[in-house]
Structures are given as C-alpha cells and as structure tokens.
C-alpha cells in the first residue's frame, strides 16, 4: 500500500489568523483561516485523497476498501469504518472561546460515538501569547455558574505563557482555550463536540451573542482538574521522543538534520506524520518514496514496518498512531 495525502479543509473563523496560508503557501486563501483539517473522517467534514489511484476517496471508503491493512486489526475491531483521529493546524489571531469537551460516556449519551481528548503542540507563538488550561483551584458547578454571572470566570482558570516547542495535553473534561498569537498542531479524537463555556461577550457576524452551552459544560467539566502544566520532555536530535501516550492516541516528536530510520514493526496501527518545519525524503519498507514538507500531513498504512527519513536541512514533524 502507498501513503495517502489528503486535500485539507480550510475553516474560516472569527478568530482565525494568516499563518496557515503562509505555512502552506496558499496565495488565494480567504482571510481568517482558523483551522486546516488535515486528515478527517468526521461525517460531513471528510478529507478526500488528493492524488493517486484512490483520489477522491474519503477515510470511511478507504477503510471499507483496505480494512485492517490500513488501520490495523485492533483499530478495525474497535472503530469499524470510523477513523479515530482528527488532525488540524490551528492559527489564532484572537482568543478562542473558553471550552470543554465531553468524554466518551457523555458523548454516547448524546448519541455520538466518541468524546474529545486532544493535545496541542505549539509551533509558533507571538510575544506575550498564552493559553488557558485547567482550573487554578478546585471548583464546582455552582462556582462556575456564579462566576459567569459576576464576570469573574477568568480569575478561576490557569493561564500559561506559550512558546514554540511546548506541548499541552487536554483530556476530555479539562477547561481550556487557545489564546491569540498561537499557531499549533492539534491531534484529537474524531469528534466535533465542543461546549462553549465563555466567549468574552463576543457577537457573531449578525451581531448576536454567541451561544454558551452552560448546562452541557456543567456536566462535562472536571472541577478538580488543577494539574494542567505543559508536557515535560527532552527533545532528541536525530530521533524521536514520546510526548503523549494515552488510550486515544500516542504522539511523538521527530527532529532530524541527518538520515534516520523509524521502526513501526511493533505497532498494529496506521501512522500519521504532520510536518511543521523543513522537508524530507521518506521511503517505506515497500519501496514507496515520497516527499513531506512543512504544512503537509501523510497517512501511512498499518502494513508499514520501517520508514527511512532523509532530511533536507532541519526536519521537524509529529507522528501519531492509535
């Protein structure tokens, strides 16, 4: 099987920036592109294969065609034709709303298959940029509702100054928000369930206050979640280091300025590489050769055993699998 490249879905948002079109070199992109959905099987937002024999096919159709060879035996048994991950670039020119996501149990009560645990890897941060992750102290549903009423919610939340190279894990139930000036890669469960906790009293394009999901957020929030620090890791030159290992996905950071090899013989899963800096020539153990450069993502099938990476200068990418 050959690697799969997809046509990303560009999402305009009221808080979107210009960094996505700059990274991807899209001259005619509209303004305020907040998100690029790189690889998605979310119903209604599926990314199509952009080239090769399977051009135009979406992930559910690819899974039906290739089965376990594409996603792995365990993943096929667990998820069926649903692809379990959603990969994004996110560019924030303004603060995103304060949000929370449901876990699997809550999502299933809503009639949706999965909740939304995610992670962020900061690839760019303007001076003074920050984000919100976690409560500053143990809280409660009553305190949350009262703080909305008196305008003090932000005083109860943890704010973190950001810089490139930081990684934040956002499990379902953690209150969070991406602040203005951040550019990042987001890896998440395949879900679009987001509850807006607070939105700084902003209004939509029609001048109406943006909806808050107070009752859903009350149920979803983990009020004792006060340990929301950045992931502690040591970068590894010409190698990889694990950033996040959770039931929903495992993600590693690859950095190389000379040829390296990646061994995937012990995992039964597809592998995704998301390049955010540089360029490299990649060759898999079946002889498929391709180039991956900043702003591109590629899906490699579960049949992959080894990948040779030959960088042109400095190459940096995230790798994730289930």
Whole-angstrom distance, CA of residue 77 vs CA of residue 239: 32
Report residue 207's pLDDT band, with 50, 70 and 90 as the boundaries: confident
Q: How confident is the model at residue 206 (pLDDT cuts 50, 70, 90)?
A: confident
Cβ 211 vs Cβ 196: under 8 Å = yes
- Protein fold of 9-220: Jelly Rolls (2.60.120)
pLDDT at 205 exceeding the cut of 80: no
pLDDT in tens, 257-297: 999 999 999 999 999 999 999 999 999 999 999 999 999 99
CA dist., res. 134 & res. 200, Å (int): 18
Q: Are 85 and 320 in contact (CB under 8 A)?
A: yes
Extents of the domains making up the chain: 9-220, 239-321
Average the pLDDT over 299-304 and give the result. Answer: 98
**Please, are residues 87 and 274 in contact by the beta-carbon 8 Å criterion?**
yes
Residue 210 banded pLDDT, cuts 50, 70, 90: confident
Does residue 204 surpass a pLDDT of 80?
Answer: no
| pLDDT value for 28 | 85
Q: Taking Cα atoms as reference points, which of 115, 120, 173, 118 lies closest to residue 144?
A: 173
pLDDT, residue 224, reads 97
* Fold for the domain defined by 239-321: Jelly Rolls (2.60.120)
Under DSSP, is residue 201 helix (H, G, I), strand (E, B) or coil?
coil
Averaged pLDDT of the chain? 96
Digit-coded pLDDT (tens) for 69-116: 999 999 999 999 999 999 999 999 999 999 999 999 999 999 999 999
pLDDT at 255 over 90: yes
Question: What pLDDT digit, counting tens, does each position of 180-192 carry?
Answer: 999 999 999 999 9
State residue 262's pLDDT score.
98
pLDDT score, position 203? 80
Closest CA to 280 of 318, 305, 321, 316: 316
**How deeply is 322 buried, as exposed, middle or buried, from its count of CB atoms within 10 A (0-12, 13-18, 19+)?**
buried
Q: Tell me the mean pLDDT in the region 140-157.
A: 95
Whether residue 202 has pLDDT greater than 90: no
Task: Report the pLDDT value the prediction gives residue 209, as an integer from 0 to 100.
Answer: 82
Of 172, 156, 159, 177, nearest in space to 99 by CA: 177
Provide the pLDDT for residue 10. Answer: 96
Domains 9-220 and 239-321 belong to one CATH topology: yes
Show the tokens assigned to 78. Answer: 């667990």
Cα separation of 182 and 90, whole Å? 8
């Amino acid at each position: 099987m050959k690697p799969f490249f997809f046509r990303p879905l560009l999402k305009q948002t009221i808080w979107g920036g210009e960094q996505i079109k700059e990274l991807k070199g899209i001259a005619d992109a509209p303004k305020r592109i907040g998100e690029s959905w790189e690889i998605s099987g979310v119903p209604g937002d599926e990314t199509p294969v952009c080239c090769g024999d399977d051009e135009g096919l979406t992930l559910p159709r690819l899974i039906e065609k290739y089965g376990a060879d594409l996603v792995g035996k365990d993943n096929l048994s667990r998820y069926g034709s649903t692809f379990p991950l959603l990969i994004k670039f996110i560019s924030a020119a303004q603060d995103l709303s304060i949000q929370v996501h449901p876990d699997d149990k809550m999502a299933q009560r809503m009639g949706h298959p999965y909740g939304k645990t995610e992670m962020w890897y900061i690839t760019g941060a303007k001076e003074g940029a920050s984000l919100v992750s976690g409560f500053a102290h143990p809280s409660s549903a009553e305190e949350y509702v009262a703080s909305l009423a008196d305008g003090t919610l932000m005083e109860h939340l943890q704010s973190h100054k950001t810089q490139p190279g930081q990684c934040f894990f956002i499990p379902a139930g953690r209150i969070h928000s991406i602040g203005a000036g951040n550019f990042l890669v987001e890896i998440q469960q395949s879900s679009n369930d987001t509850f807006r906790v607070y939105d700084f009293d902003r209004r939509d394009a029609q001048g109406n206050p943006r909806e808050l999901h107070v009752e859903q957020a009350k149920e979803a929030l983990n009020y004792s979640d006060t340990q929301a620090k950045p992931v502690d890791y040591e970068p590894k030159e010409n190698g990889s280091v694990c950033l996040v290992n959770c039931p929903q996905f495992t993600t590693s950071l690859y950095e190389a300025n000379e040829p390296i090899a990646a061994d995937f013989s012990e995992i039964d899963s597809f592998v995704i590489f998301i390049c955010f800096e540089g360029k490299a020539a990649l060759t898999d153990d079946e002889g498929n050769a391709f180039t991956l450069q900043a702003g591109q993502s590629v899906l490699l099938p579960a049949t992959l055993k080894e990948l040779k990476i030959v960088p042109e200068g400095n190459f940096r990418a995230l790798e994730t699998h289930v």
